[in-house]
Amino acid sequence: MHPTTQQIVSTKILPLFYHDDYVLCKKNILACYEAGVHVFEFTNRGNQALAHFQRLKNELSVDYPDLKLGIGTIFTGAAAQQYIDAGADFIIQPVCTVEVATVCKKANLPWIPGVMTPNEIYQAMALGAELVKVFPANVLGKAYLKAVLGPLPQANLMVTGGVDATSEDVLSWLNAGAKACGLGSQLFNNSPETITQLLTEIIHQIHA
């Protein structure tokens, strides 16, 4: 397993966020870092995404060299390459495309595609995905995750979409078989200070 993918699986939490306000983006990333989460998905969901990402990489790599900053919401190989050139540590998709898989393989970067069905999970793994994102998790549910892992026990699944920023919900997903949980709006609807508190508690409970 790629070291960065292993870091996501070991941390068990992958925060994901984007905002047009650069200062807020940086504050939220550092709020997660302070809680001990040193891997972060910046999402490609706004006009300022690439400019913000480039600036974040430039500024954060100096003071936080162990922070792994990846990019999410990537659909095309061209977009993947653009962010790889900007220093992305991993690429995440809401879908699964051969084009993006190929670009990531060539760059030797983790590629985490988005899937829903058993067939999609299998195809993503066949294309080289070491970790696969099941989305939307809250619609599919924990019983679905357990059922899918029956015939596909070798699948490393990360759940994203509607996961609550509480130790109870995160632990219930992990107990259902998830290797990691993506936390988005449920986490970032809070102040940076509260984000640090929530993540610190979640991390504590996970490793307890």
CB environment 75-113: b (16+ within 10 A), e (fewer): eebebbbbbbebebbbbbbbbbbeebbebbeeeebbbbb
Let me know if 133 is a catalytic residue.
Answer: yes
Angle at alpha carbon of residue 185, lines to 184 and 188, rounded to 5°: 90
Cβ-contact 77, 93 below 8 angstroms: no
Cross-sheet strand order for the sheet of 114-115? 111-112, 91-92, 68-72, 39-43, 13-17, 180-183, 157-160, 132-134, 114-115
Let me know if 179 is a catalytic residue.
Answer: no
Cβ-contact 131, 179 below 8 angstroms: yes
Catalytic pick among 12, 57, 68, 133: 133
Catalytic pick among 41, 57, 68, 179: 41
Cβ-contact 57, 86 below 8 angstroms: yes
Active site residues: 41, 133
